Amino acid sequence: MSQPSMPTPRTRVVREADRGVYDRETAYRILDEGFLCHVGFVADGQPFVIPTSYGRKDASLYIHGSAASRMLRQMKEGIPVCITVTLLDGLVLARSVFNHSMNYRSVVILGKATLVEQPAEKLEALRLLSEHILPGRWDDARQPNERELKATSVLRLPIEEFSAKVRTGPPVDDEEDYSFPTWAGVVPLEMTAGTPVNDPRLDPARKVPHYVSNYSRQH
Amino acid sequence: MSQPSMPTPRTRVVREADRGVYDRETAYRILDEGFLCHVGFVADGQPFVIPTSYGRKDASLYIHGSAASRMLRQMKEGIPVCITVTLLDGLVLARSVFNHSMNYRSVVILGKATLVEQPAEKLEALRLLSEHILPGRWDDARQPNERELKATSVLRLPIEEFSAKVRTGPPVDDEEDYSFPTWAGVVPLEMTAGTPVNDPRLDPARKVPHYVSNYSRQH
């Protein structure tokens, strides 16, 4: 069982506070469905927001990248970061412009990332990351060698100070607007996978594996 | 014609520099296809990254929100922000774990946002935002009234200091890995719209408008 998490003043959802959720299960479900996060960090007073992929295991979020990247170089210093994951579920069309909205699920995690240095732990984190994005792929690919592991940095952010925000369902209009003569409802949005495209240099005898042809983010 | 834009030391793409593009047309195409951005700002030394929608007109990016929101309250002070838009186009499966990648298009904009205060300009910015997300909707919805306009803040970020990053195409493996016995290629990913869902309180005689049934992000 996950322990309930109390919002801090920094993670308490201020706007539309009824959309704020703080339990780990909800946050983990969102984190497990997504694999693209936006990482915020500060350098010389300027915030930067960089997209990257991530993996999760228990209360650890892992990101990785080139050991030489600006983002990872900064973050290795143990500076405060914010990692945000957003899943967009739909456009919400109300009768009034003002009450238009979006259905979405998002998680915001604050904290300090630490470098995963121990080689076995680093390799395991890379496996987690790979399996988070595309379960089944790791065992089917050529494993990382010494040189590649050296060129890669892995950072771990503890999922301790976090909040999630969720909006679902139909539009909510002001009572007097329900008679306004327009369509209202939701346009569902979803990230979908298309037909896999063979690498032009692929051996034509090689088949698309099941974990690719059955790929879906809905768990 | 758009003027070419020079990268600053802060926006120069460091990693995979061949993926960095700095021309306005490319950045605008990415900004116009997306409508969800992640806004980074700093409060008490802590970065925050918040998802929100946006609109664009020429070299202006507009975001809006409740006048009471933490993000907009902070940003109205003229603090440095970073707005990032990321479109995910596919998973790139190489033979080696190390060369796995993603196809994506992203834009990072740095700068200071300013409050749009003049009422006519604010209303026009809200129209731009609405038309950016769902062209055709604005004229079909109940227009904002005084009270709603007061409760909404609109911020403008000039698109001056920016960079875009684009990866497309098949995996790129090390030459010696091309004989490794595994599938390699791209799993295309796309944000797709599902069948519109009527509001439960919708007048059943009302039809789904064309701008909803034909909705697509590809322009």
Contact A42 B41 (CB under 8 A): no
Burial of B106 (0-12, 13-18, 19+ CB in 10 A): buried
Query: Environment class of residue B195 by beta-carbon count within 10 Å: exposed (0-12), middle (13-18) or buried (19+)?
Result: exposed
Of B126, B140, B183, the CB nearest to A182: B140
Confidence (pLDDT) at A13? 72
Mutate to test the interface with A, among B97, B110, B146 (most CBs of A within 10 A): B97
Cα(B88)–Cα(B100) distance, rounded to whole angstroms? Answer: 15
Q: What is the pLDDT of residue B71?
A: 78
Q: Which residue has the tokens 């479900």?
A: A29
Number of Cβ within a 10 Å radius of residue A150: 11
In a domain, A196, yes or no: no
pLDDT < 50: residue spans in chain A = 1-4
Instruction: Report yes or no on B6 lying in a domain.
Output: no
Q: Is residue B53 part of a domain?
A: yes
The b/e string for A71-84 (b: 16+ C-beta within 10 A; e otherwise) is bbebbeeeebbbbb
Q: Is residue B50 part of a domain?
A: yes
Contact A197 B188 (CB under 8 A): yes
Q: Which of residues 97-116 of B touch A (CB under 8 A)?
A: 97-98, 100, 102, 104, 106, 108, 110
The A residues from 51 to 90 touching B (CB cutoff 8 Å) are 51, 53, 65-66, 68-70, 80-84, 86, 88
Instruction: Give the pLDDT confidence score for residue B2 in this predicted structure.
Output: 42
pLDDT tens, chain B, 219 aa long: 344 456 777 777 766 667 777 789 999 999 999 999 999 999 989 999 999 999 999 999 999 988 777 777 777 778 899 999 999 999 999 999 999 999 999 999 999 999 999 999 999 999 999 999 999 999 999 999 999 999 999 999 999 999 999 999 999 999 999 999 999 999 999 999 999 999 999 999 899 999 999 898 765
Neighbour count for residue A183 (Cβ, 10 Å): 21
Q: Give the per-residue pLDDT at A4.
A: 46
- Please tell me which of the candidates A10, A130, A196 has its beta carbon nearest to residue B97: A130
What is the 8-class DSSP label of residue B129?
H
Residue A65 inside a domain? The answer is yes
| Element containing residue B103 per DSSP (H, E) | strand B101-112
Residue A126: which domain range?
17-172
A160 CA to chain B: closest CA distance, Å?
15
Residues on chain A touching B70 (C-beta within 8 angstroms): 14-15
Residue B207 belongs to some domain of the structure: no
Q: Do B190 and A185 touch (CB under 8 A)?
A: no
Confidence at residue B3, expressed as pLDDT on a 0 to 100 scale: 46
CA distance to A66, A140, B141, B199, per residue, from A169 (Å)? 41, 40, 19, 9
pLDDT computed for residue B12 by the predictor: 75
Among the partner-chain residues A42, A53, A170, the one whose CB lies closest to the CB of B199 is A170
Select the residue from B183, B210, B215, B217 to test the A interface by mutation, using most A Cβ atoms within 10 A. Answer: B183
Q: Are B83 and B63 in contact (CB under 8 A)?
A: yes
Which of 111-150 (A) contact B at CB < 8 A? Answer: 126, 130, 133-134, 137-138, 140-145, 148
CB B183 within 8 A of CB B100: no
Give the pLDDT of residue B154. Answer: 94
- List CB contacts (< 8 A) between B11 and chain A: none
Count CB neighbours of B104 within 10 A: 21
Taking an 8 Å cut-off on Cβ atoms, the answer to whether A191 and B191 are in contact is: yes
User: Using a CB-CB distance cutoff of 8 angstroms, which residues of chain A are in contact with residue B143?
Assistant: 96-97
Buried b / exposed e along B47-60 (16+ C-beta atoms within 10 A): bbbbbbbbbbeebe
The total number of structural domains in chain A stands at 1
CA–CA separation, A108 and A50 (whole Å): 14
- Residue B1: predicted pLDDT: 38
Rounded to a whole number of angstroms, the distance from the CA of A112 to the nearest CA of chain B is 10
Give per-residue pLDDT as tens, A145-196: 999 999 999 999 999 999 999 999 999 999 999 999 999 999 999 999 999 9
- The reply to whether B141 falls in a domain is yes
The answer to whether A64 touches A125, Cβ cutoff 8 Å, is: yes
Output DSSP code: residue A144: P
Cβ-Cβ contacts under 8 Å for B17 (sequence gap 6 or more): none
Residue type, A209: P
What CATH number is attached to the domain comprising B131? 2.30.110.10
B4 within a domain of the structure (yes/no): no
State the pTM of this model: 0.93
pLDDT at A218: 62
